[in-house]
Structure 1
Amino acid sequence: MSPAREHITGLVLAGGRGMRMGGVDKGLQMLHGEPLASHVLKRIAPQTGALVISANRHADVYTTLGAPFNAKVVADTLPGFPGPLAGLLAGLRAADTAYVLSAPCDTPGLPADLAVRLAHALDSNQADLATVTTADAQGNVSLHPVFALLRTSLADDLAAFLAAGERKVRAWYARHKTVEVAFTDERAFYNINSLQELADLDRC
C-alpha cells in the first residue's frame, strides 16, 4: 500500500549558499510578494503530514514562515554548507514519520500530485526512494534528484556516506533501490537560479 499523507514528512531544502544569486538566502527572495520558501510550503503542505524546513541561515525568519504550517526548522549537522544531502540528512533525522518528501525552496510551481505519484512508484517497485524525471520537446530526459520520496530508515547510511566525504546526490542514490518517475510538465520543476530569472518570473 502506498504511504499515506500522514506518514510523510515534507522537507523544504533551504540551506544552500545561494552562490548563483550572489550569496543571498534563496528561500527568502520575494516572488509575487511572498518568499520563495513560502510558495513551496504552500504547495507541499497539502501533500504531507508534518513539515520541516532545512535552513542554515535566518532560522528565526524561517520559523515565522513555517509557523502557519507547524513546520520545524532544522540546520545541517555538518559545517560549511556541504550541499543538499546534508539538508536531506537533517530532515530525515527530524522526521517522526516513515517517509520524507523533499523539494528545493526555489521551485514554486511543484506539482500538486508529487507525493501521490512518488509514493505509488515507491510502493509498486518496493524501492528505497523515488525521484523525478522530465523530458523536453526533443525527448532529452532530465533528472531532478532533490525532488524525492525516501524511507526515513536511510538516515544512517546517508550519515555514513557524508562522513566519508561524499557529497553527490546521484552517487548516494545509486547505493539504494531507486525508481524514477516521469512527469510531463517540465515547467513545474523549474528552479530559479539567478536574481534575473526571479525578476523575470515575478513579472509573469
Structure 2
Amino acid sequence: MPISDSAAIPASSITGLVLAGGRGQRMGGADKGLQRLHGKPLAAHVLARLAPQVGVLAISANRNREAYAALGAPWQASVLVDTLPDYPGPLAGLLAGLRAARTEWLLSAPCDSPWLPADLAMRLAEAARGRGVAIATATTTSAAGEVSLHPVFALLHSSLADDLAAFLDAGERKVRAWYARHTAAEVDFADERAFYNVNSLQDLADLDRA
C-alpha cells in the first residue's frame, strides 16, 4: 500500500507499542516483560527507550494487565489485549495496536529488547516516507556480511489494519508472510546489540550480573 505524502513523520504521529503478549515459553511460562533487569522489568526498559521517540505509548499484554498498566503509568500508556484467543503471536498484538492507535503510524518493539536504538522511530520513518511505503523494518549486518531481519521492530501505517485482520482471519500467523503482501522498506542499523532479545531466565541472569 503506497503512502504518497513525502513530508517528515513527527513523533506526535506515532504510537509506540511494546509487544508483551506472548506465552513466555522459553522462560518457562514466566511473563517475560515483567522479569527484572538491573532492578527494572524488561518492559519498563523498552518503554523508556520508546517514550522520547513517539507521541503515545501502548503495551500489548494478555496477562498481568494491572502490572503492565502500572509500568506505563508515567506515560499514560494504555494496555491492549489480543482480540484473537490462544496467544496467536505478535501479529495479533500489532493488530490490537493498529486498531487502538489514534495516530497515523504505529512503532512496535518486543518487550525483551532493553537496548533498542534511540533513533529507531526516526530512521524507520525516514525510510517509510522516502520510499512511500506503509511498512519499515529494521535489519542488522554481521561482521561476516550476514543480514538479519528484526521483523517486530517495525513502523506500520494505520491503513494496514483491515488487511492484517483479514490475514489473521485466514489462519495466517507469520510476520514475514504478512509483510510479503506489501512493499516494506528495510533499514540497516550498525549496532547488533541494540536488537538483542532476552530469551531465557539464564540470559537474563547473565545480563543482570554484567
Is the contact between residue 59 and residue 73 of structure 1 (CA under 8 Å) also seen in structure 2? yes
1:163 partnered with 2:189? no
Counterpart amino acid of 2:183? Answer: K
Question: In structure 1, what is the equivalent of residue 64 of structure 2?
Answer: 58
The partner residue of 2:37 within 27, 31, 35 is 31
Structure 1 residue aligned with 2:131: 125
1:47 counterpart letter in structure 2 = Q
| Structure 1 runs of 4+ with >3 Å offset | none
Distance, in Å, in 1 between the alignment partners of 2:40 and 2:193 is 20
Aligned to 2:94: 88
Structure 1's unaligned 5+ residue stretches are: none
Task: Report the residue type matching 1:185 in the other structure.
Answer: D
Shift of 1:2: 2.1
Residues 129-161 of structure 1 show CA distances to partners (whole Å, capped at 9, x for unaligned) of: 000100111111100000000001100100000
Residue 203 of structure 1: how far off its partner (Å): 1.0
Give TM-score, length-normalised by structure 1: 0.99
- Say whether residues 1:173 and 2:173 are aligned partners: no
- Write the distance in 1 (CA, Å) between the matches of 2:98 and 2:207: 32
1:105 maps onto 2:72 in alignment = no
Q: Aligned partners of 1:154, 1:190: CA distance in 2, in Å?
A: 27
Gaps of 5+ in 2: 1-6
SS of the aligned residue for 1:103 comes to strand
| 1:115 and 2:106 matched | no
Q: Deviations over 1:158-199 (max 9, x none)?
A: 000000000000000011110000000000000000111111
Report the count of equivalent residues. Answer: 204
Identity %: 70
Please say if 1:9 is aligned against 2:15: yes
2:128 maps to 1:143:
no
Indicate yes or no: 2:69 matched with 1:76.
no
Q: Which amino acid aligns with 1:131?
A: T
Alignment of 1:188 onto 2:194? yes
Shift of 1:99: 0.1
